[in-house]
């Protein structure tokens, strides 16, 4: 699957009630102001071991899901932001009230649709691995439930054993005790870190999973690009899109392990240099509240 282009965002913007679409997530958080769009629930992880990091990258990637949900840019994280509950989630195709989603919708699922609009509250996933049943169907297996979310609810491809192990390791690592409850700022630095962490995760994954994790890294780069106003940052956008295409080429390499080993050090140096240059002008990007507020008001 290709990373989502801006065409998808524009297609959604036609249906969405909000006047200007600057960020892809506005499709499922209509009406969020600039401050809200620069914050997410803090993610508290008890571990950063490679398996957890692979799971984290996949949890944030639309490529794990399929069909209309993936095309709209939804990921697990869109609903369970930072593993918590996205109380602003209000994608019209899935819910009529904020913080809920219809998990038996025709829109996202060919097999689960029940013809009814019956959204239920999105649960917080902290401590989920200590629960004994999952979802309203009271599934006794977290693995079986999660596979169902991917394959049946969202038409994603059958996840490999490593994908499942990593996702479950991520869910297990979400730990309340690790930090205070609250919000975390979305900044250029946090967005760049998502890219770096996904790439490190790709290096420790098996070949098939590494391809999926590289796709997650490309999606994370898209989340930087969309926060760079096109007119002012044309050159920087092109540079980051070029770096993303390089990841795309690595993904398609025959021996992805050897390719990453050779190509990533140089890639990282160029990515870091781009981010450093951008950081000097961060106040003119949509990582800045005033700049974003102005764009949303247009």
Q: How far is the CB of 148 from ligand HEC (least distance, A)?
A: 9
Residue among 168, 141, 248, 159 at smallest CA distance from 208: 159
Distance, CA of 216 to CA of 47 (rounded, Å): 20
Instruction: Report yes or no: 186 and 201 within 8 Å, Cβ to Cβ.
Output: no
Asked whether position 135 contacts ligand HEC by CB under 6 A, the answer is yes
Q: Which residue in 63, 69, 64, 61 sits closest to 8, CA to CA? A: 69
Q: Is 131 in the site for ligand HEC (CB under 6 A)?
A: yes
Tokens, residue 38:
């620069």
> Counting contacts by CB under 6 A, is residue 12 touching ligand HEC?
no
Nearer to ligand HEC, 148 or 271 (CB): 148
167 binds ligand HEC (CB under 6 A): yes
168 binds ligand HEC (CB under 6 A): no
- Give the count of residues interacting with ligand HEC (CB under 6 A): 24
Which one of residues 120, 238, 269, 297 is an interface residue with ligand HEC (CB under 6 A)? Answer: 120
Residue bearing tokens 């993610």: 43
Closer Cβ to ligand HEC, 104 or 200, answer by number: 104
140-159 binders of ligand HEC (CB under 6 A): 145-146, 149-150
Residue 72 buriedness (CB in 10 A; 0-12 / 13-18 / 19+): buried
N residues, the chain:
298
User: 201 or 292, CB closer to ligand HEC?
Assistant: 201
Distance CA(68)–CA(117), nearest Å, equals 17
If binding is defined by CB under 6 A, does position 213 make contact with ligand HEC?
no
Question: Is residue 101 at the binding interface for ligand HEC, with CB under 6 A as the rule?
Answer: yes
Which one of 76, 186, 210, 278 is in contact with ligand HEC (CB under 6 A)?
Answer: 76
Q: According to the binding rule CB under 6 A, does residue 24 interact with ligand HEC?
A: no
Single out the residue of 230, 255, 253 nearest to residue 241, CA to CA: 230
Q: Which of residues 244-273 bind ligand HEC (CB under 6 A)?
A: none
Contact between 128 and ligand HEC by CB under 6 A: the answer reads yes
Say which residues have a Cβ less than 8 Å from residue 227's Cβ, sequence separation at least 6. 23, 188, 191, 285, 286, 287, 292
Q: Applying CB under 6 A, which part among 17-25, 75-83, 205-213, 273-281 lies near ligand HEC?
A: 75-83
* Contacting range for ligand HEC; rule: CB under 6 A; set: 110-118, 121-129, 206-214, 289-297: 121-129
Sign (positive or negative) of CA dihedral 82, 85, 91, 93? positive
Question: Which of 30, 67, 123, 229 touches ligand HEC by CB under 6 A?
Answer: 123
Cα 298 to Cα 296: distance, rounded to the nearest angstrom: 6
Buried b (16+ CB within 10 A) or exposed e, 183-209: eeebbbeebbebbebbbbbbeebeeeb
Minimum CB distance to ligand HEC, residue 180 (Å): 22
Residue 70 within binding range of ligand HEC, rule CB under 6 A: no
Q: Whole-angstrom Cα distance, residue 100 to residue 95?
A: 6
CB of 188 to ligand HEC, least distance (A): 26
Contacting positions for ligand HEC (CB under 6 A): 64, 74, 76, 78-80, 94, 101, 103, 120, 122-123, 125, 128, 131, 134-137, 145-146, 149-150, 167
């Amino acid at each position: 699957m290709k990373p989502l282009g801006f065409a998808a965002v524009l297609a959604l913007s036609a249906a969405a009630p909000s006047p200007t679409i600057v960020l892809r997530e506005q499709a499922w958080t209509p009406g969020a102001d600039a401050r809200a769009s620069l914050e997410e629930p803090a993610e508290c992880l008890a571990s950063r071991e490679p398996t957890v990091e692979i799971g984290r990258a996949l949890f944030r990637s639309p490529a794990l899901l399929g069909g209309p949900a993936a095309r709209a840019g939804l990921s697990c994280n869109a609903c369970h932001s930072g593993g918590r509950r996205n109380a602003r989630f209000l994608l019209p195709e899935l819910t009529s009230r904020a913080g809920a989603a219809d998990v038996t919708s025709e829109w996202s699922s060919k097999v689960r649709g029940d013809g009814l609009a019956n959204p239920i509250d999105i649960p917080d996933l902290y401590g989920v691995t200590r629960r004994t049943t999952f979802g309203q169907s009271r599934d006794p297996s977290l693995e079986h439930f999660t596979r169902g979310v991917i394959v049946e609810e969202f038409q994603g491809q059958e996840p490999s054993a490593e994908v499942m192990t990593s996702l479950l390791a991520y869910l297990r690592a979400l730990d309340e005790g690790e930090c205070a409850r609250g919000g975390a700022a979305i900044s250029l630095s946090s967005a760049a870190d998502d890219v770096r962490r996904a790439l490190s995760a790709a290096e420790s994954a098996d070949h098939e999973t590494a391809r999926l994790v590289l796709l997650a890294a490309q999606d994370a780069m898209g989340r930087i690009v969309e926060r760079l106003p096109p007119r002012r940052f044309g050159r920087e956008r092109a540079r980051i899109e070029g770096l993303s295409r390089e990841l795309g080429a690595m993904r398609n390499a025959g021996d992805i392990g050897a390719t990453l080993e050779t190509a990533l050090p140089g890639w990282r140096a160029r990515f870091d240099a781009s981010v450093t240059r951008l950081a000097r002008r961060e106040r003119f990007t949509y990582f800045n509240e005033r700049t974003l507020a102005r764009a949303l008001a247009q």
